Amino acid sequence: NMASHSSSRRSFLKSSAALGTAASYGRVLGANNRLRLGFVGMGNRGTGIANTVTKLIEAGANVEIAAVCDIYQPRLERAETRFKAKGFARSAEMLGASRLDAVIIATPDRHHVANTLEAIRAGLDVYVEKPICHWAQFDALKRLVHENRKLGRIVQVGTQFVADSVWEKAAAAIAEGAIGKPVHAQTCYFRRGDQGERGMKIDDPNAKPGLGLDWETFQADAPRRPFEVSRFFQWRLYMDYSGGPLTDTYPHTLTPLLKMLNPGFPKKVVALGGRYYYNHGRDVPDTFDLLIQYPQNLTVAFLGTFVNATRIDTLVRGSEATLTRKPEGVVIEPAKGSDKAARQIPADIESFGEGHAQQLAAHLKDFFECVRSRKQPRGNLELAYIVQVPILMAMQAHLKDKVVYFDAVREEMRMA
């Protein structure tokens, strides 16, 4: 009886949450058990991930899309039909009624932490889109990280570029001294066009808040605004809900770089950014540069704009050699007069762009495997925390025109 099951599950979760044992309930996942997935957010990204999951199922992955959730009814109904899954207007209802093993979260930035917390507290594992939080949510992110250390859920953040063994192999090489002492590293995110924000689809130009469109829930902890169609459908144009290149795309290339360097928290961050070119109805920057200084005498430079797609190399300069990311993998080239060896570390997936279908598929497969094995996935929450802290510091540096310092003991930012 599903009804009595879900009510007994709810009372069990309430009584056991205090003991932190919710996680062990209904989690005896044998190798043959099919993973039951619930999706939160069925817009462009949620649908794209669900399409990839469907392809993985067709190729033999032992998972199923059991439930879908969206606060906008037309998208919810479309997803129910397309993925033959039970639909819910509220994520809490979905978690209570669906006997899920894991959730995949593809909501706007301000919802990521709350959606993830809700799921891990219900004993579920989580695949959550980047960025792990909105730029104004540092305290919430910190709470999530510390709570998950107690709960021990598997959390994979959707930085799919990191879905490649080349990064951990490169990290091991750097740790073994293959380039000497890492001193200076750089990466970038360049693309041409504002289609990522202004190109977001407006499903219905006449949409109104009400029963089938939950504007109140959409706003989460953002400043309260009157409903506007573009704020709802094209939320990446607005600082209230997004943050431009820094928050939307920089996690993609900063995550592999910091995975290689394993630098911990920054000492300080400086940043420059703004709307340099696209002035059409947006208040998020289109161009953003940052410098991150780490206490172990290491500087990371990150450059980017959405106005031009010409890249710079992703590389790490060490005292003895330079490690460079190439399309086919990572190359270590010793400095003149150094006795370090030249090396090539091949990538699993030959690519150098965004949105490669193989990367997303590999990242999801890694998540499913880790749900079963309880090992840490490649884009895990602890790595995402180390990546997101300098991103959040950079946004504060830009908005307040200050140098931002980090106290690693207290895990707190302060301004100069």
Q: Per-residue pLDDT for the chain (416 aa), expressed as one digit of tens each?
A: 544 444 444 444 444 444 444 444 445 566 679 999 999 999 999 999 999 999 999 999 999 999 999 999 999 999 999 999 999 999 999 999 989 999 999 999 999 999 999 999 999 999 999 999 999 999 999 999 999 999 999 999 999 999 999 999 999 999 999 999 999 999 999 999 999 999 999 999 999 999 899 999 999 999 999 999 999 999 999 999 999 999 999 999 999 999 999 999 999 999 999 999 998 889 999 999 999 999 999 999 999 999 999 999 999 999 999 999 998 899 999 999 999 999 999 999 876 554 478 999 999 999 999 999 999 999 999 999 999 999 999 999 999 999 999 999 999 999 98
19 Cβ neighbours under 8 A, 6+ residues apart: none
The pLDDT assigned to 31 comes to 63
All domains of the chain, ordered by start, with CATH?
2-159 (3.40.50.720), 162-197+242-351+380-415 (3.30.360.10)
Kindly list the strands in the beta sheet with 86-88, ordered across the sheet, starting from the edge strand earlier in the chain: 86-88, 63-69, 35-40, 102-105, 125-128, 155-157
- 97 CB-side CA count, 13 A: 14
The CA-atom distances, in angstroms, between 335 and each of 46, 177, 320, 340 are 46, 14, 6, 8
CB 215 within 8 A of CB 227: yes
The CA-atom distances, in angstroms, between 39 and each of 50, 169, 277 are 8, 32, 36
CB 245 within 8 A of CB 189: yes
CA distance from start to end of the chain: 60
CB 347 within 8 A of CB 187: no
3 Cβ neighbours under 8 A, 6+ residues apart: none
The pLDDT assigned to 356 comes to 73
Other CB atoms closer than 10 Å to residue 219's CB: what's the count?
19
